Structure 1
Amino acid sequence: MWNIILKREKEISLSRQLFYSIKKLILEGKITAGEALPSSRGLAKNLSVSRSTVCEAYDMLITEGFVVSRQGAPTKVKEGLYLEKYHTKAIANETSQPSFSTDFKTGQPDVSCFPRYLWNQLLYKSCEKLQDKDLGYFTTAGYEPLREEISQWLFRTRGILAKPQDIFITTGTTQALNLFVQMLSKEGLPFAVEDPCHLGIIEILKNRKIPFLGIPVDENGIRTEQLENWDFSTVYVTPSHQFPLGGILPAERRAELIRLARKQNFYIIEDDYDSEFRYGGAPITPLYSMDCESVLYAGTFSKTMYPALRVGFVVLPPPLHAQWLHLRKYFDVQNPIIEQAALAEFLSQRKLDKYVQKICQLYGEKRQLLLKSILQCFGKEVCLLGDTSGLHLVLQIPGVCFNEGFIAKSQAFGIRVYPIEHYCIRKGNHSDKLMLGYGHLHVDEIHQSVLRLYDFIMKNSIY
């Protein structure tokens, strides 16, 4: 009857299969409004199932309002359930990622080196130690032992004093920036961002329809003198390793930025995205160390551990604590507890310190191989910009123009690489520069990747 086919080998029960089948026929109009369903006994015999299976399916139809049943009367289909077929436009599968034979993507660490066995042990042991209360809605601020360990981590790796009560756990810098934009925006005043800068903050501001102004960047970071003649709600900077050009904001500009923040009453967002990886000395001390009242510090473990961990943190002055907690509570409440507990133990045992030391040495070797390959392929006419830190470098080829069209052409050729212009608000000032990410590259593929990029540029008469 109705060509219903029930499959006994499926995980879905026969009664639910029958419910879905009749529901579908009703919505398609193949069982019309007012039409009586067959008796449970008759349908059971027809489908070779027990009567109780049919009764369960009918009960589900009654509960969800598809049919009505009255004492002594047959079960009938309700009115107004027919839905005409609706054809939607095909939507591209956003989850599929194109593959590239040569990939200089930025911000991707080498996760193959991460100590998975140790991490798995910590996850298990941390879960065992957690109490029942920890598995509930515990605190929006974050797991207290983790906040304490991050405080110590910042002191021994960055030299800054951050109290545990000023540290709040996030799911990463993107979430932190979203909440900062909500907290700090002022009617009629723009955000100031570096130009060029990370596209993430630009997209967040655009999505919230908040005006922003790009402040030019040179080899030393944001040009603070350009801020003097404007009023801002907030200034966003990457002073320890400017993204994407790689400069370090010098002390005099840092002091000038703080003076302006105090004078004009705005906050500074400091995005410290990868300064752990420095190959020519100790990590740069954050701007936060100069003024913990004007600077909001955002850090992440996505680069030092692995991006899918989704754990970061912010350091906030006390006047912003209540507002942050309120917004975070109605954003997503809190981070998963087990990962926080495991990370607290990872920090407590100094395992992260040792891992960063190990991986930093590997990244330094990759950087040297990349530099050597660039000089071999492109020659000494090119320039390499930025501090010896992070997971990318900037290649400048004087006289060459890398625009948005270059991105499409290179990707069609199987190469992913982005010009600095891609990150610029005002176009035209950095058209001869490319950003080459190398953190994820295998040592054995670096030279071949550079050679392939060089061949592409030569064949397309760009160089």
Structure 2
Amino acid sequence: MILSKLVLLKYQFVISSLDPVEVYMLGIEINRQSEVSLKRQIYHKLRDYILDGRIAAGEPLPSTRELAKDLAVSRNTICEAYDMLLAEGFVLSSQGAPTRVAEGLSIPKESSEEFLQKESQSYDNIKADFRTGQPDLRYFPRYMWNRILYKAMDEMPLYQFGYSGPDGLTQLREEISGWLFRSRGIKVDPCDIFITVGATYGLHLISGMLYEEGKEILMEDPCHMGMLRALRNKGYPVCPVPVDEHGMIIEHLDGKAAWAIYVTPSHQFPLGGILPAGRRAGLIRFARENGIYIIEDDYDSEFRYCGEPIAPLYSMDPQRVIYVGTFSKVLFPALRIGYVLLPRQLHKKWRYLRTHTDVQNPPFEQAALAEFLRSRKIDRHVLKMKRLYGERRKALLLALAEQFGNTWHSWGDATGLHIAVEFPGMQFGYEFLHKCKTNGIILKSVEYHSICKGKHLDKLLLGYGHMEIDEINKGISVLNKFITSI
């Protein structure tokens, strides 16, 4: 009998006879109490040995009789495991010859454990966490949401358990229309509202509808890095348009051959400016003259601390502006429900594209969100969180003044869940961010979100929505000590 040269020990027994896991020839472990069948356990182990090269190409496997004896299982179990390997092409078998490993199967393992260890170390021993776009999930009414979700699923008509189409649930679109009127003061026909899996996914679909070969999308610089990557990953060229404290500088649009313009006019990300009426009008004129659309991302503008939310650009020209909104920051990111307000002429394209990607959002969360909106629970939740975030914003500004004196100033409007802070004369490049990370300080710079590098090296982004006031004070103190030490 020819056995693999890797079989060094015929038997290896476990220490305790009570342990259900037994170790045998080739180091195969079988667990007789597992829900996974013995044949599949044996198949998995042999397959793994073949893939990682412990059993080399051309080497024979033990005979089914010998391996069955060593593992104390029936020969049929081994035959079935070998048949699975044979069916998938891991081994070759011929009459009167041993079963041998096929050629070209070895795949050396990557050091995934090291990679995972490095990733986990990134967030070990965090001393200050200033990540942006992080709502405080501790204050979300989970019990209330669970009750609404259960009730919505229990009462949902059976036909909605199937494919309900690319538009979204009718009742949710109607409630979003009411929400937009209450919170933004804009009237939207529910049939112009389409449900998406968040704002970034909405941008994926919109760009797929509008893209024209040989043209670029005009995009604020700096901008939301997630949106920029979404476009670049699709191979679409991006033309950066600089911003100032008021948002996109529209004079830089002249002469550009574009298929769309992407803006965050109510709260520019990341600098926080509000696009003034004159620039908004100029932006719409440019879009009309060039026959293109404006993609308006209404980024976390629900949380404005010195007045009502800014009216969307959409209200000035619903046929030229595509509005993208989301409930990720208002409720919780895992909800993955956003929405797009589309001009009528784009409805057909949207439905076709969505139908041939993922068809629809799950209906249960849509129904629950519709009830959350209908009962005005979202209005009360937003009001509560707005007060909370407003207090934290004040605490952050006070902590900056106490720790850094007058060596800094903030950018933008009092809106959102982060502050852009400029430290004149300082530079916060990649090396600085890396040192912060290794020292337990989690943050991003404006430079990180810039398309054209080198213009905003002196600005940091400090998220505060998820931090208690004592965490904010401690974090700014840690940041001050770190900056003065380098």
Same fold flag (TM > 0.5): yes
CA contact (8 A) 1:166 1:317 kept: yes
Match of 1:443 in 2: 469
CA contact (8 A) 1:397 1:432 kept: yes
Q: 1:12 aligns with which of 25, 31, 36?
A: 36
Structure 1 CA distance for aligned equivalents of residues 479 and 308 of structure 2: 32
Q: 1:380 aligns with which of 381, 385, 406?
A: 406
CA contact (8 A) 1:25 1:31 kept: no
TM-score calculated relative to the size of structure 2: 0.85
Match of 2:142 in 1: 116
Match of 2:205 in 1: 179
Residues 15 and 424 (structure 1), Cα distance of their counterparts in 2 relative to 1, 3 Å cut: closer
CA contact (8 A) 2:92 2:101 kept: no
1:259-308 deviations in Å (ceiling 9; x for gaps): 11111111000001100001100000100011111101000111001111
CA contact (8 A) 1:123 1:342 kept: yes
TM-aligned CA deviation for residue 428 of structure 1: 3.2
Residues 35 and 254 (structure 1), Cα distance of their counterparts in 2 relative to 1, 3 Å cut: same
Match of 1:338 in 2: 364
Q: Are 1:430 and 2:447 an aligned pair?
A: no
Superposition pairs of residues 37-436 of structure 1, within 5 angstroms? 37-38=64-65, 47-49=71-73, 81=102, 85-91=106-112, 92-93=115-116, 96=120, 98-99=122-123, 100-436=126-462
TM-aligned CA deviation for residue 342 of structure 1: 0.9
CA RMSD of aligned residues (A): 2.8
Structure 1 CA distance for aligned equivalents of residues 90 and 426 of structure 2: 67
AA at the equivalent of 2:417 = L
TM-aligned CA deviation for residue 437 of structure 1: 0.8
Residues 149 and 168 (structure 1), Cα distance of their counterparts in 2 relative to 1, 3 Å cut: same
3-state SS in 1 of match to 2:180: helix
CA contact (8 A) 2:196 2:361 kept: yes
3-state SS in 2 of match to 1:302: coil
1:390-411 deviations in Å (ceiling 9; x for gaps): 1111212222222222212222
Deviates more, 1:304-313 or 1:324-333: 324-333
CA contact (8 A) 2:165 2:355 kept: no
Identity of aligned residues (%): 48
CA contact (8 A) 1:66 1:77 kept: no
1:82-134 deviations in Å (ceiling 9; x for gaps): 55533244242386472231111111111110001111111111111122221
Residues 230 and 34 (structure 1), Cα distance of their counterparts in 2 relative to 1, 3 Å cut: closer
1:191-227 deviations in Å (ceiling 9; x for gaps): 1111111112221232222222111111111111221
3-state SS in 2 of match to 1:341: helix
TM-aligned CA deviation for residue 241 of structure 1: 0.3
TM-score calculated relative to the size of structure 1: 0.89
Residues 61 and 105 (structure 1), Cα distance of their counterparts in 2 relative to 1, 3 Å cut: closer
3-state SS in 2 of match to 1:6: strand
The unaligned stretches of length 5 or more in structure 2 are 1-9, 11-23
Q: How many residues align?
A: 454
Structure 2 CA distance for aligned equivalents of residues 200 and 5 of structure 1: 45
Residues 97 and 154 (structure 1), Cα distance of their counterparts in 2 relative to 1, 3 Å cut: farther
Match of 2:16 in 1: none
